[in-house]
Amino acid sequence: MTSRYRLYIGETLPILLVFLGCLFLPPRATALQVTGLYDHLIAVNNESDAERNRAIREAFEAVVLKVTGEHRWLEHPSIEQALENAQSYVEGISYSSEMVTLEVTPNPDSTLPPILAPRVERRFIEVNFAASLIDQLLASANIPVWTSNRPSVLVWMALQNAEGERKMLTVEANQQIVSYIQNFAEQRAIPIIFPVLDFEDRRNLSVDAVWGLEDSSIIEASERYGADSILTGRLYFTASGELVGLWQFIFQGETQIFDGFDEDLNAYLHAPLDRITSQLASYFSLIPEAATQQIVRLQVEGIRNLSAYSALLSYVSGLGLVDSVVIAALDGERLELELGLVGDSGQLFELIALDRDLLPIQSSQSGARGVLHYRWTR
């Protein structure tokens, strides 16, 4: 979507000043900015035309799912029709291969190391789709787009075996569960965080508190991670092999609890992950071309030097619903911008809240003269 955004530099500062500032622009260090939304890597058996066409179709579906965040849009007539001509949206392809070692864990609750199979060579094709063409397709179909600024999800899990023993989910002991969640996060382009479970975590949050879905304790222990949402699960492995449990999702001050039951571990994990991803996508997605542009003013304190000035302009112009940026005023360390949005100021407020770079001053949603007031903290 970035191809549609325009950065207008007013007459307050020379363009040369902006260019020089970009030369020492600090790197953007945030787990909330996802990449690769319009690219997809997929395994292939060979480099035949038939196999390439199959891979392009599957990659097209994967990209639409990442960009929209919801499975239901794959059934939209416009998407189904475009799928028949998926090659016309391709910008480039490349083949690669690597040696991989297959791992098999007999029991996801087992603490035994995974069984390693012989190393095998796998071929892959990376399909790069033209972002502008995908965006045009979605906009013409009035399908909302989820921009690259995405909320993070902190995942806590407590596991109980048939003997009643409980333990916290860890990367070392529960590789099958962690790997599935990590693969889901990559496929859906959503930042998922696992707690480190160090002394501080274990002191602040017991396995019984996680099992009991004690939201106040969970929220307090999660503060150190600065996550935008929290998914907590408890999973019981029955003696008959069934998976039974409860899930709790905390987002925007609201707590939801839903149950889970399955005989397959991947299906058990997929259901809550898909549910919360669809919820987040529905909350943050927008239809840029269908929205009426709204002009808002953004006043930012703390612009102390050229680097901060350039970093702020780069950050604001990269926000998903910002279509244009005009410098309205510059007074010392205060910079005032006029933003053209393809959404509304409420959506902008929510989008900025996902990051840590702008700290709201007073009431940013109802400030004087409709100005959103922030302090630059990077």
Could you report the per-residue pLDDT of 284-335, keeping only the tens digit for each? 888 755 445 678 888 898 888 888 888 888 888 777 678 788 888 888 888 8
Mean pLDDT for 22-26 is 29
Lowest average pLDDT, out of 20-34, 39-53, 133-147, 190-204, goes to 20-34
Note the pLDDT of residue 202: 93
pLDDT per residue as tens digits for the range 108-134 = 555 556 666 677 788 999 999 998 889
Q: Is residue 336's pLDDT more than 80?
A: yes
Q: Which residue has the higher pLDDT, 121 or 142?
A: 142
Note the pLDDT of residue 27: 31
Q: Is residue 250's pLDDT more than 90?
A: yes
What is the pLDDT confidence band of residue 105, given thresholds at 50, 70 and 90? low
Domains annotated on the chain, with CATH = 2-32+288-376 (no CATH), 39-129 (no CATH), 153-284 (3.30.160.100)
**Amino acid making up residue 129:** F
**What are 19's two structure tokens?**
């260019």
Note the pLDDT of residue 112: 58
* Among the listed residues 245, 269, 271, 270, the one whose alpha carbon sits nearest the alpha carbon of residue 259: 245
DSSP assignment of 96-110, as one string? EEEEEEEEE-S-TT-
Q: Is residue 362's pLDDT more than 80?
A: no
* Among the listed residues 94, 189, 207, 196, the one whose alpha carbon sits nearest the alpha carbon of residue 147: 189
- pLDDT above 90 covers what percent of the chain? 45
Q: What is the mean pLDDT of the chain?
A: 82
Lowest average pLDDT, out of 57-66, 161-170, 351-360, goes to 351-360
Overall pTM surpassing 0.85 (yes/no) = no
Contact 115, 103 (CB under 8 A): yes
Q: Which residue has the higher pLDDT, 98 or 113?
A: 98
Mean pLDDT for 204-217 is 95
Task: Name the helix (H) or strand (E) containing 19.
Answer: helix 15-23
pLDDT per residue as tens digits for the range 33-81 = 788 999 999 999 888 989 999 999 999 999 999 999 999 999 999 999 9
Note the pLDDT of residue 327: 83
pLDDT per residue as tens digits for the range 262-281 = 999 999 999 999 999 999 99
Cα dihedral 221, 225, 227, 229 in deg (nearest 10): -20
Q: Is residue 190's pLDDT more than 90?
A: yes
Lowest average pLDDT, out of 81-85, 193-197, 344-348, goes to 344-348
Beta partners for residue 305, in sequence order: none
Q: Which residue has the higher pLDDT, 316 or 21?
A: 316
Note the pLDDT of residue 269: 95
Mean pLDDT for 86-96 is 90
- 285-322 burial string, b = 16+ CB within 10 Å, else e? bbebeeeeebebbbbbbbbeebbbbbbbbbbbbbbbbb
- pLDDT above 70 covers what percent of the chain? 83
3-state secondary structure of 201: helix
Highest-scoring range by mean pLDDT, 24-28, 162-166, 310-314: 162-166
Note the pLDDT of residue 70: 93
